[in-house]
Amino acid sequence: MKLHLATLFPAFLAAGCGPAGIVGGARELTTTQTTAQVVVVVVNDNQEPLVLSVNGQSFTVDNLKIAPGSSAELRMPPGERLRVRGQDDTPDRAPVGWDYTVEATGSRTTTRLGKETMVFSSLYAQGSTPERVDIQHYDGATQTFRQVSTTELGFAPTGVCLAPGGSRAYLLRDLGAGQVELRAYRLDAASGALSLIVPEGDTAPNPQQLDYTSRVECVADPRGRFFYVLDHNDSTSRTRVRSFAVERDGTLQLRSTFTRGLIRTLAFTADGRNAYAAETLGSGHVIRALRIRADDGAFDFQINEAATPCSALDTNPPRIFLAPSGRAAFVMVADSTPAVRLGSYELLSDGSIFQNAQCLGFQTFYDLSFDPRGDVIYVTGKNSSGQEGVLRYSIDPVNGQLVLLGTQVVPAGLGWLTSQQEPDLSSSDPAKNIVLLARDDTLVPHTRGAGAVLEPVVTGSGTPSLPYGSTATVRALRGAVRGCATTTHN
């Protein structure tokens, strides 16, 4: 195989995921000469440097990176898998990745690398419709939805996790008899399709089989470094945690196994340094702040702990939501009425957590999501007076306390909430920050108006919507950003 990073020249593709650019430089990497070559011009349309690798052979040892606004010419045999990732130099988010196979032979191919928002959902089987994963793109510029891909699974997953950066997905498949299969999938940057990852080199097998006791779930580290499988044992009130390192090819390598109290919910700070777990202690629960070890992903060092909000009502497992700022957390608990309480917490720079003297009440809670800018939260449900709608709160930037801005009454059928940012739009464009609100069986995009009121997007042909299923037919629903790739040949 001959890999050649040659003289760079102006890129010639105008459509796709962003503007193109030029730069210059040369370097050669070698193995075996071949006559059947594809010439690929990779164009970086992003704000961070990109790192190339081909079938596990990384270019990073020679610092061969594609700078923002630059392009690189690569000569390689057809059928090779080209992997590109961000340089990973931003401490509060995971790098976006691009992964695809170069198929063309004897022609010049330009591949532009960009980013686009996506709605990732895993749907239950319904009648003749099999279990599947759908990826949709909502284009803020054109205000339309486009189906990126749909992948039939052939099994019913017990856990669905999307890797940060949108280039991989991890699914748990229950095999019965206390065994579960951990399956790593690649999200193709060109087609958006999911495919089972074939391990490269000396890495763990994929899929791999694990044992479990009562219940099992998966959680992804927001920096994309570690992946966790939680094995809950209800009879002993303990959770066995397995932490896996995410290898360069996307497969998972077991790094540590440790046991904690029965974890009811788990949340991570955006920088991946701390975790917050709601753990069962006898008949009640406690919120624990935990430090994550950088070498193996274990979180067995406790920073401190705090009581659940409205502690007399914590008979049911709480849910934890971390603000994008990393300075506040919100914990939702329900009692047997059922009434719902939401408490706010302050997170200090050392990771410790302290409860504010705040206890907000609802009759019914459906879902909670943050505005993409991080200063407002939206809650779907019924307020303490029984009025159904979207409750919106501003977040105090210092201590995380919530101030009610109002309850927005919308048509019945509320459910899921998720939000996303359109990477190609400027911060002044109202369409950059979108909150997707489920009404019955459709997702409707909303922008934020005065007083943080959610306003449905309206076009000349009406309000765009995405038929996604419903809260009864969807296992997982999440807005995210994925690396997209467009190619041309000449």
Judge contact between 92 and 271, C-beta under 8 A. yes
If asked whether residues 85 and 157 sit together in one domain, one would say: no
In a domain, 209, yes or no: no
Q: 337 near 354, Cβ under 8 Å?
A: no
Residue 225 lies in a domain: no
- Residues 452 and 415 reside in one and the same domain: yes
Neighbouring C-alpha atoms within 13 Å toward the C-beta of 184: 29
Please choose, from the candidates 416, 377, 370, the residue with its C-alpha nearest in 3D space to the C-alpha of residue 120.
Answer: 416
406 and 275 part of one domain:
yes
CA 267 distance to own-chain centroid: 13
**Are both 35 and 169 inside the same structural domain?**
no
Residues 383 and 340 reside in one and the same domain: yes
pLDDT, one tens digit for every residue, the chain (490 residues): 334 433 332 332 233 453 332 222 333 333 333 457 788 888 888 877 888 777 656 544 344 678 888 888 888 778 778 888 887 666 667 788 888 888 776 678 888 888 888 999 988 887 778 899 999 998 888 888 999 999 999 999 999 999 988 889 999 999 999 999 999 999 999 889 899 998 887 788 999 999 999 899 999 988 889 999 999 998 888 999 999 999 988 899 999 999 998 998 899 998 889 999 998 876 678 899 999 999 999 997 899 998 887 755 556 778 899 988 888 999 888 765 557 888 899 999 999 999 887 778 788 888 889 998 889 999 988 877 778 889 999 999 888 889 999 888 876 677 788 888 888 788 888 888 889 888 888 888 999 999 999 999 988 888 888 888 777 888 888 888 899 888 887 7
> Is 104 domain-assigned?
no
Could you tell me if 452 and 385 lie in one domain?
yes
Would you say the C-alpha torsion 431, 394, 405, 367 has a positive or negative sign? Answer: positive
* DSSP calls for 182-194: EEEEEE-TTT--E
Asked if residue 101 belongs to a domain, the reply is no
* Backbone φ and ψ of 17, nearest 5°: -105, 10
- Strand-pair category, 433-439 with 414-421: antiparallel
Give the residue among 180, 349, 366 at the shortest CA–CA distance from 273: 349
Same domain, 300 and 433: yes
Answer whether 408's CB lies under 8 Å from 425's CB. Answer: no
Indicate whether 219 belongs to any domain.
no
Q: Quote the CA–CA distance of 226 and 294 in Å, as a whole number.
A: 9
> What is the C-alpha separation between 363 and 341, in angstroms, rounded?
9
345 strand-pairing partners: 329, 355
Residues 148 and 57 in one domain: no
Residue 339: strand pairing partners: none
Please tell me whether the overall predicted TM-score, pTM, comes out greater than 0.75 for this model. yes
Residue 368 lies in a domain: yes
Domain match, 38 and 186 both? no
Tokens of 356: 């504010």
Q: The domain spanning residue 316 has which CATH number? A: 2.130.10.10
Same-domain check for residues 37 and 142: no
Q: What is the pLDDT of residue 21?
A: 28
Residue 23, helix vs strand vs coil? coil
CA separation for the pair 407, 364 (Å, rounded)? 14
Model pLDDT, residue 7: 32
Residue 100 in any domain: the answer is no
Tell me, yes or no, whether 129 and 84 share the same domain. no
Query: Residue 410: what pLDDT?
Result: 77
74 plus 129 within the same structural domain: no
Residue 461 in tokens: 């042909």
Range of the domain at 68: 3-89
Provide the number of structural domains found in the chain.
2
215: in domain: no
The number of angstroms, rounded, from the C-alpha of 40 to the middle of its chain's C-alpha atoms is 29
Report the half-sphere exposure of 171 (CA within 13 A, side-chain side).
26
